[in-house]
Chain A
Amino acid sequence: MPPLWSQVNAFHPQLWRAVCGYELNPALREELMQEVLLAIWQALPTLREHDRLLPFVLRVAHNLGASHVRTATRAPAPLRLDPVQHDVPDPATTDEAERARSEWLFEALVTLPLRLRQPLMLQLEGFDYGEIASLLGISQENVGVRLHRGRALLKTLLSQEDIA
């Protein structure tokens, strides 16, 4: 077992979110997650800076995710975001509303081009412009432009859902 493998377990939620941004089918999501974990296992010995484990594992996830689009032939229509359900603070329905909102977000993300989707997903994960630029291998200015365009597209999708 490679060193640091036990620490990778702590990053499963982050890896899962990255996987969800590339694949909507639940069975294929699990398959991709397994593929990502296997690649991380094999690549871990190449990691030099041990304190940079999260960017390292996310780099693997985004690389394999981008490569995985070969199976995604058609982008499905985004799920309806129900504002009535989202505004209800009842704890019994809050979980369901959050799940629906989360699914809507992933379905909306899948419709975005990869160049816009990747920086947006990394920003949602909490990375700053410099870290996103380093992960994607592009300049910070380019990250800014892509994020601006990606957010604008997401806002348009959200407003379309609100109108519908």
Chain B
Amino acid sequence: MTEFDKLMQSAWQTARPPVDGAALAASVHRTRWHQRLRRCLETVLTLVGIALLTRPLFGGATTPAYWLVMPFFVAYLPTVWWLLLRNTQPSPADVAQSVRTFAHTRLNQLRAGLRELRIARFAAIALLAYASVATISAFAFGGPAWQAPARDLLAYAGACALATLWLSRWQGRRRLREYRAMRRLT
């Protein structure tokens, strides 16, 4: 072993985790609970959305707000669930593969993730276009009962489009950077 090797080896071995093993294990448990809670929250939100959508089937009144918002739920819920269930994160089996195999798998996942971001952007713009058409129609042909919910829908759709575009831009940059790094490993 050369002097250089000894120097590097001793420098390498010096590094130790700043927190003890018990604290690290506890933080892993906490993260697992957070993940479960988040998935429960997603399920509850979806069930609330479906309950609102199917309200007329159980005797609920079909107000103008319902007719305007119904397509929003019909388009929005399946898209969100599709994005969530497609799961672009590496699976436990993937991360235990060799680096080269993992890099190939991750590249495919990142490509799919970038495609999903494009779909999310398209969905948000389509919803905004729908809300604009609905609002113009409500103000041109509808009464006050239609105008207020149409205006609300346009506001929600605008906020939704802005948030989606911001999120998509931020996520897109991160995924592209990771994609470039992974491509160098294949």
Q: Mark B4-40, 1 if CB is under 8 A from A, else 0.
A: 1001111110111111010011011001100000000
CA distance A43 to B91 in the complex (A): 8
> Residues of B within 8 Å of A, CB-based: how many?
42
Contacts of B99 in A (CB 8 A): 59, 62-63, 66, 118, 135-137
- Interface bits A42-69 vs B (CB < 8 Å: 1, else 0): 1101110000000010011011101101
Which of A106, A115, A155 meets B184, CB within 8 Å? A115
B103 at the interface (CB under 8 A from A): yes
Main DSSP-derived SS at the A contact region: helix
Binary contact track A16-41/B, C-beta < 8 Å → 1, others 0: 11001000001000100110011101
Q: Jot down 8 A-B pairs with beta carbons below 8 A, ordered by A.
A: A13-B15, A33-B17, A39-B95, A59-B96, A60-B96, A63-B94, A67-B102, A102-B15
Residue ranges of B at the interface with A (Cβ–Cβ < 8 Å): 4, 7-12, 14-19, 21, 24-25, 27-28, 31-32, 90, 92-103, 106, 174-175, 177-178, 181-182, 184-185
Q: Hey, which bits of chain A sit against chain B, CB under 8 A?
A: 5, 9, 12-13, 15-17, 20, 26, 30, 33-34, 37-39, 41-43, 45-47, 56, 59-60, 62-64, 66-67, 69-71, 73, 98-99, 101-102, 104-106, 113-115, 118, 124-125, 134-138, 151, 154-155, 158
